[in-house]
Amino acid sequence: MTTITFDTHEFIKTIKDSGMPDEQAEATAVAFKNAQQQSELATKSDIELLQRDIKESETKIMGELKLNHWMLILIVAVTVLPLLKTLFS
């Protein structure tokens, strides 16, 4: 998991300079820091793993589609060829 540094002192200073009371600025900084620590960020390796999984799924699906395509052709052939035979006999 990737860690992002958070300068609470600078954050508090910035929001106090905008006119927020000291206690409220400190509470806001603590809440923001806690919320940030609870979130998980995807790393580059996480994204690469996901991309690899997607590629494998695409390959599997394409293989299944090709199999279904040939099965459909076989079913049509088995159904149509006897009909053609009766028409031309």
Count how many domains the chain has. Answer: 2
Task: Please tell me the distance from the alpha carbon of residue 76 to that of residue 14, in angstroms, as a whole number.
Answer: 73
Q: Give me the pLDDT at residue 86, please.
A: 87
Whole-prediction pTM: 0.44
CA proximity to 41, closest of 87, 2, 79, 84: 2
The pLDDT tens digits for 46-56 are: 999 999 999 99
Question: Do 29 and 68 fall within a single domain?
Answer: no
CA distance 76 to 81: 8
Report the alpha-carbon distance of residue 23 to residue 12 in Å, rounded.
Answer: 10
| Whether 33 and 1 share a structural domain | yes
Query: Cα–Cα distance between 51 and 63 in angstroms, integer?
Result: 18
Please check whether residues 31 and 50 belong to one and the same domain.
Answer: no
Q: Which domain holds residue 26?
A: 1-41
33 and 61 together in one domain? no
Q: Are residues 36 and 49 both part of a single domain?
A: no
- pLDDT at position 16 over 70: yes
Same-domain pairing of 69 and 83: yes
Please state, in angstroms and rounded to a whole number, the distance separating the CA atoms of residues 61 and 77: 24
